[in-house]
Structure 1
Amino acid sequence: MDLHGHDSRRRPSINLDAGYVSISSINIYEPSTTLGLHGRKLICVIFTIISLFLISFINLIFSIIDYYYNQ
């Protein structure tokens, strides 16, 4: 509580969604789960993105090698 009796850890939050306005108060010290990604789900998403990047990179390398050998 601050001098005026308000909880200073809470901040107002305004959400706009298709013309509907929602005003609420959020606790700034509470952990954020905005996307609902935490723990194992977040690790799986990161692993999937890294795997796709590596597959694309390996495919690019093989395409370059194939191009130079077939000239």
Structure 2
Amino acid sequence: MSQDTPCIAVCMIDPKTKLCFGCGRTLPEIARWGSMSRDERLALMDGLRARMHDAGLPAMAPRRG
């Protein structure tokens, strides 16, 4: 995956937090991703690790393919 995306190809949404188990984004953020500027994407990515931690979700490693 590109460095400009947090996607690790684990695309499942946690029903409680509404966050993707793989990247920590919400469905609306994922849907808007392609139309966001690079600066917007990087700003969002900066907070994803803390967001996952605060939600009690484990950080997942990318799948090996």
TM-score tier after normalising by the smaller chain length = under 0.3
TM (norm. structure 1) is 0.24
Structure ranking higher in strand proportion:
1
Task: Flag the structure with more relative contact order, 1 or 2, with Cα contacts below 8 A and sequence separation at least 6.
Answer: 2
TM (norm. structure 2) is 0.26
